[in-house]
Chains A and B, each alone.
Chain A
Amino acid sequence: MSDTTTEGQVSRLPKFIQRADPAVATAFGCIILLLIVGSIYSPSFLSPEYLLQQLKVASFLGVIATGMMLVILLGQIDLSVPWAVATGAMMACAAAAYGPAGAVLAIPFGVACGVAIGLVNGIGVAYLRIPSMIITLATNAVAQGLMVVYTGGFSPQDSASDAMRYLATGFLLPGVPNAVIAWAIIGGAMVFALTRTAFGRAVYAIGNQERAAYLSGVNTRRVVMIAFAVSGGLSAFGGVLLAGYASKAAQSMGDAYLLPSIAAVVLGGTSILGGRGSYLGTVAGAILITLLQSILSVMQMPEAGRQITYGIVIVAMLLLYGRAPADR
């Protein structure tokens, strides 16, 4: 019964650099188009300062979308992103308030909290086989509850540590924001993991045909659990960067990243059904979304218009690339 469907998909390969992948090419084409449109609107659009600034903003989304991509490659989804981001940010800031030791441990602690959220998701999906959409919604609610109790419902007062600020806003290499370097390192690690390690192969294999991966003797449940933990950790790290950027954490700072992170992955040609997609596409997706946001705000498009635009863009891209197989 799956004969025709799977054979219809075979033309796209899970390879890092697949220049022929129409979705990645389309995403890059859209980026160029946006830059052209933007430069007509305002000539400063093509200036190096503006582009680097956009790249920096994109790196926050890029880090979060990296984790989301890993989960989507498995054919799952992570809806706990909003409060994993906020938890990472708040916990890192909270740790930073505990003297010098706290300042040192701030970033690892924030990330560890995200990993913990991801582990709950992963155990639920892999071992209890709860649909990922449901369990991640639930852990999102729990994380939110914990943070509301912790902060007392107000904006948290702790501020980011110097290391966090440096990571998000500093320049290790002249001209290149540290956040971009962080994204590049994480992205590089992800590309390496996806293409050169047994874990990466297993991720693609599970996304394509979990049954076959399991019967090949791979511990598919552990792979799924790890992927969710990584996603939680990366969301929290994204939160750490955002807190460093804004100097402190905020209650609903993660809400603005759920939809864009899914959109970045999907616009980059990763199949929402799993098993197919390249990291290059996700990079393109993150930049595309950031530019889109930037242009919409330059055009003074209100929040409403941005939401509508996202929704429509996602549906349109999915209709092009992410459709389920046709009926019998």
Chain B
Amino acid sequence: MTLVKHLGAAVVAGLVLLLLSYKLGSYRDYQLAEVAAYVVAVGGLTVLIGVSGQLSIGQGAFMAIGGYAGALLMIHLAWPLELVLLASAVISAAAGAVVGVAAARLRGPYLAGATLLLAVALPSIADRYQGVFGGDQGLNVTVNVPGFLGTSFQLTQWLAWVCCAAALITLVLLANLVRSGIGRAWRAVRDDEVAAALAGLNVARLQVLAFVISAACAGLGGALLAIVTANVSPGGYTLSLSIGLLTAAVLGGLGSLAGAVWGSLLLVLVPSFLTDFANSHGLSGAASSSVPIAAYGLVLIVVMLAFPAGIQGGLRRLLGLAAPAGPAQLPGLPSLPRLSSLRRNAPARDTKEKGTTS
């Protein structure tokens, strides 16, 4: 039933996006493709953090894995695009499984630290093995418009189609997963691991599964971004990407897939809008490159003050005030899930570890 509802909505959204891709200019199509690629990665991250309760600052690293996997498959094996995208997700998921096994033993800030390490260290592998990964200048990826669309069809529009389709499919899958038994089990684990374990849930396995799914999303998002920008290079997967993805998930509303869309939108459009603004107001080079960063920080602070549960949380609150809502949705304090409970959980971890593992 849920599946049908989700699918129906996806088809409607897909049609709207299809029409829009014709209305938009090339550059907006390009940005639409970028947003969609980020939606995939942020969607996975928001499920990981908001639903399964594991904080990761390493999502950018998994995007890098997906991006490089996709580029290498296209360059050396010339696989068709859909296979490349699928394979990138699978390869990244495999990496996620390895990290996930370690992650399932770590909590709160320790988990954040470990994933942070991944985000910092992984891109330098590309510099270490130049022959394979092209070093600092990275690899160029070429995607062509398929023949049946004709030669005059814009590449950016085709990329927008591919990315939006991938994003919609991912969102439908994630939405169903979150509402399935697995999603409920994740939430149980997130809220109280001891209770979840006592209820017969395999906590470690559930956590690894969340990591794998999140990594698969990141890998797919990374591969999509690689074909959109036609390039993968270490500079594209720095720590600031990982932080940016985390920011997008938090700004949008942790655990909310619609929030992932809002967050990705901010991630792409705000810096581009601010750079334009700075340039058109005649700011000097150095100033115009710092203004967007400063203003982005400001947007972040304002959104967090105004909507502590993210944009989607804020919208829900506004709508909830208008329409009759369940008691849980009404309170002024929305679900600001992890941050508070991280603080609570972290120090007490030692005792819990014994309770949950085995």
Q: Do the two chains belong together in a single complex?
A: no
